[in-house]
Amino acid sequence: MHRAVPTPRRRLLSGLLSAALLALSSSAVASSAAAPVANVFVDFTAHGQPTSTYSLGSTISTFAEGGSNLIKGPDSGQWRQYLADLGPLVWRIPLFHHDGQVGSSAGGIHGGNEGEAYIRAIKGINGIPMIAVGGSSNDNDIRASDAAALVRYFNDNGGQRGGPVVDYIIGNEPDNGFGMDPYIFGGNGSDGFHAIATAMRQSSAQPLSLAGPSLVTWADYKYGDFRKFFAASHADTDVVDFHKYGSGSALGNLGTTADYGAAIAWLRQEITQYFGDRANGVAIQLGEFNYNAWYDPGWRGSFYTSRNTVHTASLIGHVLRAGGSAYQYSDNNGPLGLISDGTDRNDQPAGQRLRLPAYWGLSAWSGGAWSRRYGEFMVGASTQLADLEVFATDNAKKIVLVNKSENTDRQAVIALTGSTSGRYSAWRYTRGMDPANFATGAQYQPPARIANAAAFSQGRITVAVPWMSVVVIDVN
C-alpha cells in the first residue's frame, strides 16, 4: 500500500507537535520534581474553632512598684508604647469600689483612686478593659452594693470616667484560702456570686459579660470545685474563667503546653452538662497563665531565655485551637511580666525596661507592630517533625511554627491546602539562651524578617526553624 510522503509543511508541523509534546512532558516531570516532599501540613479550608477580639490578652497588674506601669512614673510613656505595640488585646485589671472611689484591688496595692486613669489608658492603646472585681480587703470579700457601684461608676450616662466597661470577672482564686462556699453562697464578707451578679446586671443599661470562678488550678483542674460552682452559678455566668500555670518543672514545662488545650476540652464538656441550652454561648478564658507561678534563681534559664518565648507561643496555640481565650499574667510582674520593671530584683537588669521573652511569644500571635494578627478561624495544621508544632489561622492566613527542641534545627516544608500560589512574609524569633545577656541577647529583640513578600507556588513554602525558636508566616 502506498503511503504518502509528508510535505515539508506537514513535516514541520509534525516536528513542532512532537517538540511541544516533549516539552509538556518534560515540564510535567520538572514540575513534579520541583515540588519538595512536605513535612508540615496546613489546610486553610479546614476551619476549626473561631477566634474573636477576646482571644488574646494580658493583665495590668496594678502592682505599681514605684511607678513602673502604664500610668505612673517617668517611664510610663515607654511602658504604654511597648504594650500598644502588641496590638489590640484584652487587658484584665483588678479594681474595686470604696468610699466613692475606684482603685486597685491587688493584694500589695489595695486602694487608691486610679481606676479611671487605668481604664482610659487601656482604651488609649486600643485595648478592651476587663475588670476583675475585688473586695474590701482581699480579692473575694465582695459586697453586691460595692460591685453595683463599680459598674455604675463607669457605665452611668451611657459611659463615663473612661467607660463604659462591659466585661467583668467576679473575684479571683477563691479556692486559694477564701473558700468556695463563701464565694458561691456568701460569707467571709462576700454576698455570694448570685447576689453580686444580679446587682451588677441591674446597675447597667448595657448588657454585661460576667465571668467566674477564676480558680487557681495550677497544674490540675479542681474538678470538684468547678462542678460545685457550675451547679450553683451556671445561670449567672457568661464566661468560665480559670487560671493555669506551668507544671513546676524548669525545663519540663515546655513539654506540657498541650495540657492547656486539654483543660479547655474538659471545661467545655462540663459546661455542656451543667449549662444546658446556654452552653454554646458560654465562653472559656484562661484568665492567667505563665511559665510558672513563681520565680527563684533556678528558673533563670527559663523565664529569661527563648524557652519562654517558645512556651508562650505554644501555649496560646493550644488554647486557641481548643476554642478558648488566653490571657498572660502580667504586664508588670518581675520575671513573670512582659516588661522588666527597672529594678534588679529577681535577676532583672537594673535600670532597663526590656521586653522579656514572654512578650515576644505573645506578639507571635498578636502580630502588633511586626506581623499579622491571628485570623478569624483556627485551621487544620499538623507535622511529622519531632519537637515542632504548627498552628494556623484563616481570614487572615497566618502560620505559627514552634521548635521546642534544645539542639535540633528543623527545615519545615509546608504543604498548603487552599493556597496554591501567592506571596508570603516571615519573621523569626531567634533563640537566645544566655539569660544574663540583657543588652544584646536575641531573646530580648524584635523578630527578624526572613522573607518579604516572597513568591511561592505549588502550594509549598519552605522555612528554617532553628531550635528553641518561633517562626511566623503571613500568607497572601
* Pairing of β 239-243 and β 56-59: unpaired
Closest alpha carbon to 190 in 201, 203, 179, 175? 179
Whether the upstream peptide bond of residue 88 has omega within 30° of 0, thus cis, is no
pLDDT at 390: 99
Which region holds residue 68: left if phi is over 0, alpha if psi is between -120 and 50, else beta? beta
The Cα 21–Cα 451 span in angstroms is: 37
For 187, counting Cβ atoms within 10 Å of its Cβ (0-12 exposed, 13-18 middle, 19+ buried), the class is middle
Q: Which helix or strand (DSSP H or E) is residue 196 part of?
A: helix 193-202
Structural domains in the chain, CATH included, are 34-48+376-475 (2.60.40.1180), 52-366 (3.20.20.80)
Which region holds residue 140: left if phi is over 0, alpha if psi is between -120 and 50, else beta? alpha
* Pairing of β 460-465 and β 56-59: unpaired
For 12, counting Cβ atoms within 10 Å of its Cβ (0-12 exposed, 13-18 middle, 19+ buried), the class is exposed
The Cα 434–Cα 406 span in angstroms is: 13
Instruction: Say if CB 180 and CB 229 are below 8 A apart.
Output: yes
pLDDT at 384: 87
Mean confidence (pLDDT) of the chain: 92
Q: Which residues contact 23 (CB under 8 A, 6 or more apart)?
A: none
The Cα 266–Cα 288 span in angstroms is: 17
pLDDT, tens digit (0-9, with 9 covering 90-100), for 391-443:
999 999 999 999 999 999 999 999 999 999 999 999 999 999 999 999 899 99
**C-alpha angle with apex 256: 238 to 371, nearest 5 degrees?**
70
Sheet containing 469-475: give its strands across.
Answer: 448-456, 422-429, 469-475, 398-403, 388-394, 377-383, 40-50, 410-417, 460-465
Q: What is the DSSP letter of 205?
A: S
C-alpha cell at 243: 487560671
pLDDT, tens digit (0-9, with 9 covering 90-100), for 79-94:
999 999 999 999 999 9
Concatenated DSSP letters for 312-338? HHHHHHHHHHHT-EEEES-SSBTBTSS
C-alpha cell at 373: 494578627
Concatenated DSSP letters for 48-66? EEE--TTSEEEE-----TT
Residue ranges in the chain whose pLDDT is less than 50: 1-32
